[in-house]
Amino acid sequence: MCQIHLDDLVPKENFYRKLSSALDLRFLYKETEKYYGKEGQESIDPVGSHYKHLTPNLYSFQVSTCFLKILNLSK
């Protein structure tokens, strides 16, 4: 049997891997627990939800910063 772990396939320099190790959002579980029910349909993971909204902005910032560096070098 062959086992493949996703963690082995993601490069160590990956932007999202670095973000995950630099930004710990686990505190959100305690901060948001009063807003999530105990019964019924399973709620959206608060950490995953925040990463979902945060990463496009960070990625956009990273691209913008690189673009500005390129523009600055061309002068």
- pLDDT by residue for the chain (75 residues), tens only, comes to 889 888 889 898 887 788 888 888 999 999 998 988 888 888 888 888 888 888 788 778 777 777 777 777 655
pLDDT of residue 74: 56
For residues 25 and 48, the answer to whether their CB atoms sit within 8 Å is: no
pLDDT of residue 72: 75
The domain locations on the chain are 46-75
| Backbone φ and ψ of 13, nearest 5° | -85, 5
pLDDT of residue 23: 85
Secondary structure class of 70 (helix, strand, coil):
helix
